[in-house]
Amino acid sequence: MNPTSVSAVEWPPAAGPVQRAGLYAWVSTVDHKRIGILYLLTALVFFAVAGLLALVMRLQLAQPNNHLISPEAYNQLFTMHGTTMVFLVGMPMLVGFGNYLVPLMIGARDMAFPRLNALGYWLFLLGGLLLYFSFLAGGAPAAGWFSYAPLSEAPYSPGSGVDYWITALLILGAGSIAGAVNLVATVLALRAPGMTLRKLPLFVWMSLVTALLIIFALPALNASIIMLLIDRQLAASFFRATEGGSSLLWQHFFWAFGHPEVYILALPAFGMISEVIPVFSRKPIFGYEFVAGSGVVIGLLSFAVWAHHMFTVGMGHPAETFFGLASMLIAVPTGVKIFNWIATMWGGTIRFTTAMLFAIAFILQFTIGGLSGITFTTVPADWQTTDSYYVVAHFHYVLIGGTLFGTYAGLYYWFPKMSGRMLSERLGRWHFWLSVISFNLTFSVQHVLGLMGMPRRVYTYPDLPYWGSLNLISTAGAVLSAVAVLVLLWNVVASLRRGRLAGDNPWEAWTLEWAATSPPAEHNFERVPPVRSRRPLWDLMHPEAPDPEIRSPGRQDNLPLERNVVGMWCFILTEATFFLMLIAAYVYYDLFVVGGPDESHVLDRKLTVIFTVCLLSSSATLYAAERSLRRGWRGGFQAWLALTVVLGAVFLLGQGHEYWDLLHRGVDVNSSLFATSFYTLTGFHGLHVLVGLLALSVLFWIAWRGEVRPEREEAVRSLSLYWHFVDVVWIFVFGTIYVVGPAL
Amino acid sequence: MNTLEFLTRSWKLDFFGLGLLVLVMAAYGIAIGRPGPRRWPPLAAAAVIWILTLCSPVGTLADEYLFSAHMLQHLVLLLIVPALLLLALPEVKDPKERAWPKADRAGTARNGLGWLAGVGAMWVWHAPTLCNAATTDPWVRRLQLVSLLVLGTMFWWPILGPRPAHRLPPLTGIVYLFTACLACTLLGIYITFTPVSVCSVYVHPPDRLGILPLIRQGWGLTPWMDQQIGGLMMWVPACLIYLGGIIGLLARWYRGEELEHDTGPSLGPTPPPGLAPTHDNSPA
């Protein structure tokens, strides 16, 4: 992002592509604002669907011994409700806001990779539809949103529901990772001049941390569901204890993703609140550094505490004690944020708009959810409350009182920017009070039910004292919640048609998005205002009393990063995490499982060493090719590139030979856990080599036609980064399987 | 022997360790002199922790009884004592040197070596052969003590070193610490869950003090639990130390305290006067 590269870039023709109208314009769009709105609308539809599923569940639970729906249907409902709310509502809702707002807030014209952005949305839609198609294909998944093994294994979930669940989640995961890579590249490479990292609006900060969490956490999920898919489709036994596998490993892998996921859902809402509260308190945020920094700390901590979801599986007292203590620590950075928000309001001129009301409700309700969360870190208390309605109450306070109320605050705050019209404040107040009352009615009593011993995920319950009446209260609250959502929908539709016109900056806010028109033009800004402090529009409106300038210490605030390289690095990090999980699984089965063919008997190490040398030297030849390109020596570039392709192909042939040999000797995918994990790990690596090889071949073809010029070097550089990465992964894979493995 | 008797009676004098401490303190006195008001607390803390780790009952347990006590010692000597010692050094300000000069080869090599030193000290000393050797052979143990302190100093140098010019810029420093934490976590997870005994000496200690019944029955620590606690220490608290470093770097960065070191043209692009064009998004 250095100024020279900005000025060196050629401006595209002003009009851009031909303006299309109507539905086709939406389907074919690569504009971050339209994609953002598509995300939000689709998430809203899924929100309504998942809400209806919950309503049916609540009606079934309204009285004891009820038979409105069957137990099988009930299992499908809670599985679909959870999966939908997490993957099809929570994440896309926040991605949608991020997509719409982040480029505007940092003064960029669009996301770093607009087409990838569109791909992310369509993958999301495809994944969502596929998940719901399972209803037509013989029954939805019914193993809960975390699909615990062995319940989710073929013998216990024989239908195709779990397969749909896996496929949908893989597609959704790919879409989320694409979105996260894009967001990181946008924030790191496309900021307007002056918008240094330390001046980023807090919503952008939290979105950045969230994107990094997605990059590191989603591959854990992808690795585990791929292993589950291999179990189900190829009759392997990664997670089947009866066949020597480990159901416990599924829980470790799933929660290594699942716990960061909680913060993926919470952090963007933190960011929204941090934008809304200062504007409606007419004060700058109190302790910007602490709000941003504690977000980073929460992100890092979230990877170290996943085992607190597993206090009842028998990990042993030492592990439980350590993870209980570590989990308590999360309360510290979260508490820091709460105090910052309160201190921001303190002494401010508070305007109680609907957005602000929801932000205040967020603080109160999220704190309640956080406090009940801390009770779980006391291990013996967790033993009593786990899998009871107390847990249900806890995470709904976090996800509705926290994430959803935060998102509502964001919606009322940014709706005028997106649509050009204000949402009705009168209806907004109805919506607010109905939401708060109904939400607390539904879930506060569930704390009590849980402590009285009512387990979650039961389709009905016996007529024990108070259970019936408390459940009835909860159901009444759920019905009222549906009314609240209807009020919101009515408000949105009515305001879109005849709401008050908003103007550019209806709230007198201070961040860059309010400098654009409402709704913003396709290219966002004619000119971006100068950014010298964290409140550029305040400085513009109050030249007599501007904020103190935030100077840039050193170059790190403003690294000259190139988006292709940032994007490739993010992709490499996420892939590296994926391979890390597979290698961990390999080592795990190597250590714990005996029986069946194992590596010391069946693998031919010498032959593999030869192929390894080929693959590793291909990194050197590719480096030589890059050097030739930099020096403008076209022939050398082509020759080195061709050699790279040949060496990569030799490696793949070698791997093919090894597979052929093993299969002939009767070592099948499901012969033993060694065989399954061997084929999984080397197979995925081989797939990556193949993809790299195809890309290199395309590059060679382009070079052959003489179309690779030294100016296009960074495209070649990102591809060679990928190739080097694949080689480095092989060093680890080779070391694990052929060197360390036999010794363990 | 009960726990109280054990805690009061099992202190010992580790002459080598104490001698080394005296040497380090003497070197500090000769090279630097009296520590300033902000320097003596870390220096004193380093000395106290040093003595406690080696001479207290923790040291006795680490010598032959408990892998977890050994791990505590290992982490303290590698991550805490060297960090405190570096914090006790006064800053070396060279007006000609700017903080974070452009990446040079020597700097990269220094940082890479530091990272490898920190992570290597974790991994290499826990290879079963070396771990056992350090427990049974007093000279290997002494070598381990020295190497941990040296490697720990090398590891922290790019973060806490006295020369601002040698320090990593905050964001790079965060990556440095985060990756180190990751490497340490992986080993910690392995040690926690593996059925293989990492340091088999601790499974059947020679029990020269006759406290094994106290440990096994009194405290209920089986060898398996002992190793699990050791692995968890490397996994969770060790990571929190790195995290503490990361928080410190974040604070340093947000405060912008380095501003004074940084002058002139190296400043990032400042907003040009007037209005700036938006970012273009067409493929470059």
CB pair distance less than 8 Å for B228 and A318: yes
Residue B170, min C-alpha distance to chain A (Å): 8
Q: What single-letter DSSP state applies at residue B32?
A: T
Backbone angles phi, psi at B276, to 5 degrees: -105, 150
Q: Tell me what pLDDT residue B103 has.
A: 61
Answer yes or no: do B276 and A114 touch at CB < 8 A.
Answer: no
pLDDT of residue B281: 41
CB-CB neighbours of A633 under 10 Å: 15
Interface test with B, best of A285, A289, A522 (most B CBs within 10 A): A289
What would the mean pLDDT of A59-77 be, rounded to a whole number?
Answer: 95
Q: Which residue has the higher pLDDT, A138 or B272?
A: A138
Q: What is the pLDDT of residue A397?
A: 96
Question: If pLDDT is split at 50, 70 and 90, which confidence band does A19 have?
Answer: low
**C-alpha–C-alpha distance, residues A195 and B207, integer Å:** 64
Which of A718, A7, A698 lies closest to A690 in space, CA to CA?
A698
In this prediction, residue B97 carries a pLDDT of 59
CB contact under 8 A, B279 and A192: yes
ipTM value of the model? Answer: 0.85
- What is the reported pLDDT for A21? 66
Residue A125 to chain B, least CA–CA distance (Å): 26
- In tens, the pLDDT along A334-381 reads 999 999 999 999 999 999 999 999 999 999 999 999 999 999 999 999
Tell me: pLDDT of B269 over 80. no
Confidence grade of residue B108 (pLDDT, cut at 50, 70, 90): confident
Cβ(B249)–Cβ(B174) below 8 Å: yes
Q: How far is A314 from chain B (nearest CA, A)?
A: 12
State the average pLDDT over residues B251-266: 56
Helix, strand or coil for residue B276?
strand
Exposed, middle or buried, A179 (CB in 10 Å: 0-12/13-18/19+)? buried
Mean pLDDT in residue range A26-30: 91
Beta bridge partners of A388: A455
Percent of chain A's residues with pLDDT above 70: 95
pLDDT confidence tier of residue A14, bands split at 50, 70 and 90: very low
pLDDT in tens, A303-317: 888 889 999 998 888
Q: Are the C-beta atoms of A99 and A204 separated by less than 8 Å?
A: no
Max mean pLDDT range (A70-79, B107-116, B166-175, B265-274): A70-79
Closest residue in B to A573 (Cα) is B179
Which residues 684-723 of chain A have a CB within 8 Å of chain B?
714
Residue of B nearest to A13 (CA): B282
**A211 or B3, higher pLDDT:** A211
At A560, the pLDDT band (50, 70, 90 cuts) reads: confident
Residues of chain B above pLDDT 70, percent: 86
pLDDT band at A728 (very low <50, low <70, confident <90, very high): very high
Instruction: Tell me: pLDDT of A11 over 50.
Output: no
Residue A527: list chain B partners with CB under 8 A. Answer: 275-278
Nearest by CB to residue A193, choosing from B190, B246, B276, is B276
Q: b/e for A542-568, b at 16 or more Cβ within 10 A?
A: eeeeeeeebebbbbbbbbebbbbbbbb
Which of A312-321, A492-501, B3-12 holds the top average pLDDT? Answer: A492-501
pLDDT of residue B155 exceeding 90, the answer is yes
Q: Which of residues 443-482 of A touch B (CB under 8 A)?
A: none
Residue bearing tokens 């009676």: B9
Instruction: Answer yes or no: are the C-beta atoms of A743 and A591 closer than 8 Å.
Output: no
Among A306-320, A479-493, B260-274, top mean pLDDT goes to A479-493
Q: How confident is the model at residue A554 (pLDDT cuts 50, 70, 90)?
A: low
Helix axes of A247-281 and A354-376: crossing angle, nearest 10 degrees: 150
Three-class SS state of A528: strand
Q: How far is CA A10 from CA A258, A331, A633, A717, in A?
A: 44, 49, 26, 21
| Neighbouring C-alpha atoms within 13 Å toward the C-beta of A93 | 30
Residue-wise pLDDT for A266-322, tens only, equals 999 999 999 999 999 999 999 999 999 999 999 988 888 888 999 999 888 899 999
The residue written with tokens 């966002």 in the block is A524
CB-based contacts of B15, cutoff 8 Å, min separation 6: none
Model confidence at A562: pLDDT above 90: no
CB under 8 Å to A743, separation ≥6 — which residues? Answer: none
- Say yes or no for a CB contact (<8 Å) between A554 and B271: no
Per-residue pLDDT at A236 exceeds 90:
yes
pLDDT at A507 over 60: yes
Compute chain A's Rg from CA coordinates. Answer: 27
Q: Which residue has the tokens 């590891």?
A: B155
**pLDDT at residue number A714:** 77
Say whether pLDDT at A13 is over 60: no
Q: Alpha-carbon distance B85 to B149, whole Å?
A: 10
pLDDT at A670 over 50: yes
Q: Which residues of B102-115 are buried (b: 16+ CB within 10 A; e: fewer)?
A: eeeeebeebbebbb
Number of A–B residue contacts, CB under 8 Å: 163
Please tell me what DSSP assigns to residue B38. Answer: T
Phi–psi pair at A247, nearest 5 degrees: -70, -25
Residue type present at position A561: L
Q: Among B189, B193, B271, whose Cβ lies nearest the Cβ of A532?
A: B271
pLDDT tens per residue across span A447-466? 999 999 999 999 999 999 99
Report chain A's mean pLDDT, rounded to a whole number. 91
C-alpha dihedral (A401, A406, A409, A410), degrees to nearest 10:
-160
Q: How many Å apart are CA A583 and CA A412, to the nearest integer?
A: 46
**pLDDT, position B283:** 39
Element (H, E) at A301: helix A288-301
> Considering only A201-215, B75-89, B205-219, which range has the smallest mean pLDDT?
B205-219
Tell me the percentage of chain A whose pLDDT exceeds 90.
79
Phi, psi of A707 (to 5 degrees): -105, 5
**pLDDT at A266 (0 to 100):** 94
